[in-house]
Amino acid sequence: MHTDSANVSRPTFYTVREAARILRVGPSTLYRAIREDAFPAVRLRTRYVIPAVALEKLLAEATERGTLVDPARMAADVRLRRLRRVPDDVLAEIVAAEGLAGRQLNEVELGSGCPVTDRELAAQLCAGCPVQDECLELDLRWMADQTLGVFAGLTEADRRTAYPLWLTERRADACPSRRAQAGANAGDAR
Ligand code: SF4
């Protein structure tokens, strides 16, 4: 890949495949996050590349927080952020009209392998539903950390884990100075 003239051993950019390998995710997951503007990338003619400094910064921030860089979650966060100003009743109408709610387990066409975990079962129950983001947004707003069952292809445990992060984002959105302060704190910590 491209290199600095000053430092030939350190790449300036990673290919998407190289970055995906570093993050231990599939290239398609990373491509999706890039296309949704959730992951830093630069377009060079017909292909994307990942600036090494951007990837290193994400890894350093994740290490500091004790988390992982998860492109799928980053993309989901961006999609949910786009729904933040949609009123509850509009979201509820969309989910009721277009969601696959009400499907029973025995109606679900399970994949070739039987789901072996709750997470896999939840993903299969909602597979193909076109309103998973709207469903998740509504569930987080209405049920918060008391949510039960399967919604948006996620188990209740995963949605309860996601809730505090979602809430922090929303509070920062509602109070720009809080977002600025959070950014400043992150900058100080680096
Ligand atoms: S995401 Fe799942 S729970 Fe939500 S409407 Fe679609 S099928 Fe129903």
Query: What does the pLDDT look like over 122-133, one tens digit per residue?
Result: 988 898 899 999
The residues facing 51 across adjacent strands are: 13
Residue nearest to atom 3 of ligand 1 (CA): 151
Token output for 121: 């079962």
Lowest mean pLDDT among 31-45, 104-118, 135-149: 104-118
122 lines ligand 1 (CB under 6 A): no
Look over the chain and give the mean of its residue pLDDT values, rounded to a whole number. Answer: 83
Give me ligand 1 centre to Cα 151, in Å.
5
b/e for 59-77, b at 16 or more Cβ within 10 A? eeeeeeeeeebebeebbbb
Give me ligand 1 centre to Cα 96, in Å.
9
Has residue 4 got a pLDDT over 50? Answer: no
The answer to whether the CB of 190 falls within 8 A of the CB of 60 is yes
Q: Which residues does 178 contact at the CB level (< 8 Å), separation at least 6?
A: 171, 172
Give me ligand 1 centre to Cα 138, in Å.
11
151 lines ligand 1 (CB under 6 A): yes
101 lines ligand 1 (CB under 6 A): yes
* The domain made up of 5-64 is a member of CATH 1.10.1660: yes
Give me ligand 1 centre to Cα 122, in Å.
10
Could you count the other beta carbons within 10 Å of the beta carbon of residue 20? 19
Which atom, in ligand 1's list, is nearest to the CA of 95?
Answer: 5
Which has the closest alpha carbon to 173: 55, 77, 63? Answer: 77
Q: Where, residue-wise, is CATH 1.10.1660 in the chain?
A: 5-64
Q: Which amino acid is at 88?
A: D
Give me ligand 1 centre to Cα 20, in Å.
29
Give me ligand 1 centre to Cα 140, in Å.
13
Q: Residue 138 and residue 127: Cα distance in Å, rounded?
A: 18
Rounded percentage of the chain residues whose pLDDT exceeds 90: 54
Residue nearest to atom 2 of ligand 1 (CA): 126
Has residue 163 got a pLDDT over 90? Answer: yes
